[in-house]
Amino acid sequence: IGANLCALLAGTDDIDRVVVLDDLSSGRAENLDGLDVDLHIGSLLDPAAVDRAVRGSSAVVHLGARPSVPRSLEDPVASHAVNATGTINVLEAARASGAPQIIVASSSSKSGITRGLVAICRSGITRGCLSPLANPHLRIVRSASRSE
């Protein structure tokens, strides 16, 4: 998903620069081969790495997650750290850099919803969570959308 989004963004005339922060735990650098993107290898759990990646951006798209509901149940602390604390780090870095637009996208790995549509908009989340570890992530997104 991330590499496809990067290809789309990098091919858009109105976009000057695409920066990727990825720890490569579930993706590969080769997925970005041939794309005009700046790859920063690092973790969402490292606020300095997130700040460096976000600095100077006019928009931030946050796709990072520790995927797999079963994995989150096996190791809830690690999943919470990346999915909740990592999201806070992205939101804080975007706020500090003055990025006017933040898009947080997710899959059923965070929400646990495998059927239907999850709509995240200015008014908040329109469906609830099935995964117990998704609730903190959605509360963070809800809070951020209300603080505008």
Residue 139 CA to residue 121 CA, distance in Å, equals: 13
Residues sharing a CB contact under 8 Å with residue 68, sequence separation 6 or more, in sequence order: 109
Contact 78/46 with Cβ under 8 angstroms?
A: no
Average pLDDT, the chain: 78
Q: Which two tokens stand for residue 1?
A: 């998903």
Write out the chain's pLDDT in tens, 148 residues.
Answer: 889 989 999 999 999 999 999 999 888 999 999 999 999 999 999 999 999 999 988 888 888 888 777 887 888 899 889 888 998 999 999 999 998 788 877 765 555 544 444 444 333 444 445 454 555 555 555 555 555 5
Nearest CA-CA partner of 85 in 129, 127, 124, 50: 50
Contact 59/99 with Cβ under 8 angstroms?
A: yes
Contact 143/125 with Cβ under 8 angstroms?
A: no
Q: Which helix (H) or strand (E) holds 133?
A: none
Contact 85/138 with Cβ under 8 angstroms?
A: no
